[in-house]
């Protein structure tokens, strides 16, 4: 019976591998006969379907095989997909990758130097649901800072954990109007911190080189804040570390201060493409998992807390206010 079960599993995996290769072959052919957006839509949808049908181990096994398919050389003409896969800064989801998604001026030359097909694919990937969610996330943070500054009626202090290039600051009316006394940006990427020094030289942006581990260990004396947030950081943190960081950040809030963190939701349509050809693997969570992250906060110190999602239900936000 055990042998029969193993044979059935191998047969199932073989069938899935054949199905996957057929998908990649079909998409490769489509790039020669159809608009790039059509081919990419077929690829993303097909990978989404495969990811949902396979268990984690089989998905991981097949995912590594597909990078040898000729289709990889095609989609890696896209500067966004290529940057994500190559990880020039040594880790996934770096600040420059997000700049490709934001369409910032500092990546324009990189995009223009791509092949025509690469630019067409970039037109698709930069508008995928995950990309739209990241742009919306930037706006959510800027609006939070502006709202808190308006409600306080005074200058506020803000802390960004895993700040990157701090693109949300450029959208903050409160910062532009002088209602932010200091905006502390913590990041372990020295290139990102150097970029902040050049970009925000005339604004009260304070740069701190540091890691999540260092924050949890109390290695940095940062003070207290009216707003603390982490944008894309929690997507890469284990449950244990996410809880510890949340407890650390919550303790740094001033009375009435608010902590916001974001996490990509389980089941997003682009996950298969992100994990394969972009090699951008995140820890997706559902609402119950996000609630666990703040489950050990002292209840008597919580004024309010709520979960909400973005417009397309791709990102879950946790917002908690201190008494």
pLDDT tens by residue, 41-89: 999 999 999 999 988 888 988 887 888 899 999 999 999 999 999 999 9
User: Which helix H or strand E contains 211, and what residues bound it?
Assistant: none
User: Parallel, antiparallel, or unpaired for β 302-309 and 315-322?
Assistant: antiparallel
What are the tens digits of pLDDT across the range 5-37?
433 444 454 667 888 889 999 999 999 999 999
**CA gap 321, 237 in Å, rounded:** 22
Which residues in the chain are classed under CATH 3.40.50.150?
A: 132-322
Return the residue matching tokens 């666990």.
Answer: 292
Q: What is the pLDDT of residue 58?
A: 87
DSSP-based three-state secondary structure for 70: helix
Kindly tell me the burial class for residue 216, based on how many C-beta atoms sit within 10 Å of its own C-beta (0-12, 13-18, 19 or more). Answer: middle
pLDDT > 70 fraction of the chain, expressed in percent and rounded: 95
pLDDT digits (tens, 9 = 90+) for 106-130: 999 999 999 999 999 999 999 999 9
One of 3.30.365.10, 3.40.50.150, 2.60.40.10, 3.90.226.30 is the CATH number of 132-322, namely: 3.40.50.150
User: What would the pLDDT profile of 176-200 be if each residue is shown by its tens digit?
Assistant: 999 999 999 999 999 999 999 999 9
Instruction: Dig out the tokens for 148 from the structure.
Output: 């808190």
Task: Tell me: pLDDT of 280 over 60.
Answer: yes
pLDDT digits (tens, 9 = 90+) for 194-219: 999 999 999 999 999 999 999 999 99
The alpha helices in 155-200, defined as continuous H runs, are: 173-176, 190-199
* CB atoms closer than 10 angstroms to residue 45: 15
133 within 8 A of 310, measured Cβ to Cβ:
yes
């Amino acid at each position: 019976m055990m042998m029969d079960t193993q044979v059935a599993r191998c047969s199932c995996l073989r069938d899935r591998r054949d199905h996957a290769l057929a998908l990649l072959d079909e998409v490769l052919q489509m790039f020669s006969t159809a608009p790039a957006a059509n081919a990419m839509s077929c690829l993303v949808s097909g990978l989404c379907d495969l990811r949902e049908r396979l268990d984690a181990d089989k998905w991981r096994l097949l995912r590594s095989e597909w990078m040898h398919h000729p289709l990889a050389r095609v989609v890696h003409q896209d500067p966004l997909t290529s940057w994500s896969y190559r990880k020039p800064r040594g880790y996934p989801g770096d600040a420059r990758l997000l700049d490709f998604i934001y369409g910032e001026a500092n990546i324009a030359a990189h995009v223009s130097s791509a092949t025509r097909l690469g630019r067409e694919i970039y037109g698709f990937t930069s508008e995928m649901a995950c990309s739209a969610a990241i742009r919306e996330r930037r706006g959510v943070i800027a609006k939070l800072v502006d709202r808190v500054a308006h409600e306080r009626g005074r200058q506020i202090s803000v802390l960004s954990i895993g700040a990157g290039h701090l693109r949300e600051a450029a959208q903050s009316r409160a910062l532009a109007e002088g209602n932010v006394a200091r905006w502390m940006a913590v990041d372990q990427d020295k290139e990102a911190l150097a970029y902040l020094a050049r970009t925000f030289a005339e604004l009260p942006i304070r740069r701190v080189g540091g890691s999540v581990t260092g924050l949890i260990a109390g290695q940095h004396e940062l003070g207290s804040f009216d707003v603390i947030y982490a944008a894309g950081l929690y997507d890469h943190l284990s449950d244990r570390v996410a809880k510890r960081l949340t407890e650390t950040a919550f303790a740094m809030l001033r009375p009435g201060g608010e902590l916001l963190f974001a996490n990509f939701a389980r089941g997003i349509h682009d996950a298969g493409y992100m994990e394969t050809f972009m090699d951008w693997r995140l820890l997706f969570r559902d609402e119950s998992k996000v609630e666990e992250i703040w489950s050990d906060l002292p209840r008597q110190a919580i004024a309010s807390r709520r979960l909400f999602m973005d417009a397309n239900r791709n990102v879950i936000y946790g917002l908690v206010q201190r008494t």
